[in-house]
Amino acid sequence: MKLITVAGPPSSGKTSIILKLIECMDRPKSSIGVVKFDCLTSFDNISYEEADIPIQIGFSGKTCPDHYFVSNIEDAVQWGLQSGFEMLITESAGLCNRCSPYIKGILSICVIDNLSGVNTPRKIGPMLKFADIVIVTKGDIVSQAEREVFAFNIKQVNILAKIIFINGITGQGSFLLAKYLQQALDINTVRDMKLRFTTPAAVCSYCTGETKIGELYQRGMMKKMEFKKI
Amino acid sequence: MKTLDFMKLINSQSLGEIIEQYPIASDFLANFRLNSISKESGLPQALEDVEDDILEEFGLDKNDILQNFCSFLETFAQTQSSIRMVSSITINGGINKLKESENISLTISAGEIISIVGPTGSGKSRLLNDIECLAQRDTPTHREIMVNGRELDDSQRFEMDGKLVAQLSQNMNFVMDLTVREFLEMHAKCRMTPNPNEVVQKCFECANQLTGENFSEDTKVTQLSGGQSRALMIADTAYMSDSPIVLIDEIENAGIDRRQALILLAKKEKIIFVSTHDPLLALSADKRIVIKNGGIVKIIETSEVEKQSLEAIEKFDNTLLKLRNCLRTGEQITEALLKL
């Protein structure tokens, strides 16, 4: 089974891209499954169900989405194998610009949208930097110049990435992505594989339910800001 | 220059000197929050004062930074891209929605304008998709697109990186909060244009020629009118875009000289496709592709009679424009205005 991980900021178009991708791959619908790692709620299951694509959704709730991803990915792979999929696509929303649910050797895709501002690629960090393919959506409503500056800024952060512009509404561009996916590795487990980047480290009192503000209540791993005198 | 040459360079020159030669280098530093490091010494020395913690947040150590810096310079020091070497593309017919063969082969050279006509939903965007992904009989239409008379393998197709086709459409807008000049400068910078000021100036003048309503270079791009925006986008695509193929999806007739716009793009040795219902645009093309049922049914060369009719069509067009302007400025429509 081929495993593909897709990440991107909320509402960047991940679900639309995956749906268009599956549509143009021209394979039996039951041969491709999707696992969606979301935070609190999600309505994307409706879109997948409408398209007859097997979907499993998990909510990270109060834990960090990346920690949640890495602790569940092997189970997701086993679910995919048992369901007889040829391909399993995981979809996760990166929320803190530091998320990067990518595994070494597993094809990793980052989806960002052209409306998020031209400098956004330079701010996203590991989620963009460690992706093999960067998909840019919503390019149909901005100027050519903005698309080019955006692609340039992606290159700045990730020289090796392939950049593909895809229109999530018409599917224009998704054919090329489908071609890429054929190169993805066939696996039957991700056990012992490694993440491309460490997950955000946070073991402090606030992780375990503290809500009060003040030095007295801060314990564990803390990072303090430096404020300059004016 | 290769990565290794840059490695020698960063060891022998100060960071300041390197930034002077390659201004883009300061972008690299900013991307890793290193903008305030010393520019007096070389990068390896300057990095010694940087705390490992900061680099670790980016998943890098000092050695990685040096490596990445060099490959960054190598990538962005290349100004010429192979994608610009497209002198012709050939569309070899596939099948339509009824599985009937298209039976055509059309070669289009740089500087040619081709219009695509056909009812909504007939398959115009399918054709565009095939061109954009350089279909090799592997898309639903089974068409084949050749570049410079040759078939392409997958690795060549992937090399494009979204740079093959530049697109211009009616619903495109500027979303950046910049003035016209800043906007053009930003685009010039990422093209690594050797003489940015000159190109920016040319582009700005040309945009003003294309639109009837002049604008200054201090205008915010978001405040331009529809016509002004379109004019700036076309001038920018002509002068600054790398893409050898331009795809135009209708250009509204308000406030812009559409024929001039097409001629300008063609002069820049681009291959131009215009998907349109507008007679003026359709007949400005050298040939037009007629699409029906998802397939190409006809390729018509624009006849002499059609070319001559352009003038008459332009008159109709100007009359409509005049009427529009009269209404805009609160005047009344008179019979004299309707005379061509």
- Is B190 in Cβ contact with A148 (below 8 Å)? yes
Provide, as residue numbers in chain B, all residues whose Cβ is less than 8 Å from the Cβ of A115.
175
Cα distance between residue B133 and residue B111, in whole Å: 21
Choose among B75, B154, B186: nearest Cβ to A155: B75
Partner-chain contact A176 B30, CB within 8 Å: no
Q: Do A151 and B171 touch (CB under 8 A)?
A: no
- Quick check: B270 and B246 in contact, CB under 8 A? yes
Identify the pLDDT of residue B24: 84
User: Does some domain include residue A106?
Assistant: yes
Residues of chain B with C-beta less than 8 angstroms from the C-beta of A102 = none
Question: CA torsion sign, B15 to B16 to B22 to B24?
Answer: positive
Give the chain A residue whose CA is nearest to the CA of B75: A159
- Does A127 reside within a domain? yes
Q: Do A143 and B172 touch (CB under 8 A)?
A: yes
Secondary-structure percent of chain B, ordered helix, strand, coil, rounded to 5 = 45, 15, 40
Give the residue from B34, B57, B45, B114 showing the smallest Cα distance to B299: B114
Q: How far is CA A135 from CA A17, A131, A150, B175, B190, in A?
A: 9, 10, 11, 19, 19
B-chain residue closest to A198, CA distance: B59
pLDDT band at A78 (very low <50, low <70, confident <90, very high): very high
Quote the distance between the C-alpha of residue B239 and its chain's center: 9
Which residues of B are less than 8 Å from A172 in CB distance? Answer: 125, 128-129, 132
By CA distance, what is B76's nearest residue in A? A156
The residue whose two tokens read 């925006």 is B229
pLDDT, average across residues B91-102: 94
| Average pLDDT along chain B | 87
Q: How far apart are CA A183 and CA B246, in angstroms?
A: 30
Which of B30, B161, B187 has its CB closest to that of A149? B187
- The most confident of the ranges A71-85, B166-180, B264-278, B317-331 is A71-85
Taking CA–CA distances from A180, the nearest residue in chain B reads B158
Beta bridge partners of B91: B106, B145
Sign of the C-alpha dihedral, residues B173, B175, B178, B184?
A: negative
Q: Determine the residue of chain A that is closest to B126 in CA distance.
A: A172
pLDDT tens digits, one per residue of B194-212: 788 899 999 999 999 998 7
Task: Please list every residue in chain B whose beta carbon sits closer than 8 Å to the beta carbon of residue A148.
Answer: 187, 190-191, 240-242
Q: Look at residue A36 in the predicted model and tell me its pLDDT.
A: 93
Contacts of A145 in chain B (CB under 8 A): 183-184, 186-187, 233, 236-237, 240-241
Chain A: nearest CA to B30, how far in angstroms?
9
Percentage of the residues of chain A whose pLDDT score is greater than 70: 99
A4: enclosing H helix or E strand:
strand A2-8
The per-residue pLDDT for range B127-148, each reduced to its tens digit, is: 988 888 888 998 889 999 999 9
**What pLDDT, on a 0 to 100 scale, did the predictor assign at position B254?**
63
Q: A222 lies in a domain?
A: no
Residues with Cβ < 8 Å from B129, sequence gap 6 or more? A172, A173, A175, B135, B139
pLDDT digits (tens, 9 = 90+) for B167-185: 888 778 888 889 999 999 9
How far, in Å, CA of B250 to CA of B258, rounded?
10
Instruction: Kindly list the residues from chain B whose CB atom is less than 8 angstroms away from the CB atom of residue A157.
Output: 31
**Chain B residues touching A130 at Cβ < 8 A:** 59
Determine, yes or no, domain membership for A66.
yes
**Do residues B219 and B180 make contact, with C-beta atoms less than 8 angstroms apart?**
yes
Phi then psi dihedrals of residue A9, to 5 deg? -60, 160
Residue A14 is assigned to a structural domain of this protein:
yes
Chain A nearest-CA distance from B125, in A, is 8
Domain limits for position A182: 2-200
**Of B27, B162, B187, which is closest to A164 when you measure between CB atoms?**
B162
Q: Residue B80: is its pLDDT beyond 70?
A: no
Subunit contact A179:B190, Cβ cutoff 8 A: no
- Rounded mean pLDDT of A74-96? 91
How close, in Å, is residue A204 to chain B by CA atoms? Answer: 18
Report yes or no on A230 lying in a domain.
Answer: no
| Position B340 pLDDT exceeds 70 | no
Chains A–B, number of C-beta pairs less than 8 Å apart: 113
Q: Judge whether residue B240 has pLDDT over 80.
A: yes
Q: Using a CB-CB distance cutoff of 8 angstroms, which residues of chain B are in contact with residue A142?
A: 172-175
Contact A115 B175 (CB under 8 A): yes
How far apart, in Å, are the Cα atoms of A100 and each of A88, A91, A192, A199?
A: 18, 12, 18, 7
Contacts of B59 in chain A (CB under 8 A): 126, 129-130, 197-198
Domain CATH for A110: 3.40.50.300
Q: Which residues contact B23 (CB under 8 A, 6 or more apart)?
A: B189
Q: Is residue A28 part of a domain?
A: yes
The residues, ordered by sequence, that sit 6+ positions from A111 with a Cβ below 8 Å of its Cβ are A6, A7, A8, A12, A13, A14, A17, A134, A135, A137
Residue A72 Cα distances to A3, A18, A67, A76, A196, angstroms: 14, 20, 9, 6, 16
Question: Which chain B residue has the Cα nearest residue A171?
Answer: B129
Residue A208 belongs to some domain of the structure: no
Is the pLDDT confidence value at B84 over 70?
Answer: no
Residues of A with CB under 8 A from a CB of B: 114-115, 117-118, 122, 125-126, 129-130, 136, 139-149, 151-153, 155-157, 159, 162-165, 170, 172-173, 175-176, 179-180, 197-198
- Minimal CA separation from B303 to chain A, in Å: 32
Q: What is the pLDDT of residue B161?
A: 66
Give the rounded percent of residues in chain B with a pLDDT score beyond 90.
Answer: 35
User: Does the pTM exceed 0.95?
Assistant: no
pLDDT tens string A118-162: 888 888 888 999 999 999 999 888 988 899 899 989 988 898 899
Q: Would you place residue B325 in the very low, low, confident or very high pLDDT band (cuts 50, 70, 90)? A: confident
The model's confidence at residue B82, banded by pLDDT at 50, 70 and 90, is low
Nearest CA distance, B331 vs chain A (angstrom)? 35
The CB density around residue A65, as the number of other CB atoms within 10 Å, is 24
Strands B271-275 and B113-117: parallel
pLDDT cut 70: percent of chain B above it: 96
Tell me the HSE value of A27 on the side-chain side, using a 13 A CA sphere.
14
> Buried (b) or exposed (e) across A171-203, using 16+ Cβ within 10 A?
bbbbbbbbbbbeebeebeebeeeebbbebeeee
Is residue A108 within 8 A of residue A7, CB to CB? The reply is yes
SS3 category, B107: strand
Residue with tokens 């990095």: B47
Most confident of the following: A186-190, B84-88, B275-279: A186-190
Which one of A115, A141, A148 has the shortest CB-CB distance to B171? A141
In the block, tokens 């003040």 appear at: A214
Q: Which residues, 6+ apart, have CB-to-CB distance to B311 below 8 Å?
A: none
pLDDT attached to residue B213 = 84
Please report which confidence band the pLDDT of residue B318 belongs to, taking 50, 70 and 90 as the band edges. confident
Give me the number of domains chain A comprises: 1
pLDDT tens sequence across B10-58: 888 999 998 888 888 888 888 888 888 888 888 888 888 888 888 887 8
Q: Are B304 and B328 in contact (CB under 8 A)?
A: no
The size of chain A, in residues, is 230
Residue B227 neighbours by CB under 8 Å, 6+ apart: B211, B212, B213, B252, B254, B255, B256
Average of per-residue pLDDT values in chain A: 88
Rounded to the nearest 5°, which phi and psi values hold at B105? -145, 120
**Pairing assessment for the beta strands B271-275 and B245-249 based on DSSP bridges:** parallel
Task: Give the per-residue pLDDT at B286.
Answer: 94
Task: Choose the mutation target among B57, B136, B268 for the interface with A, i.e. most A CBs under 10 Å.
Answer: B57
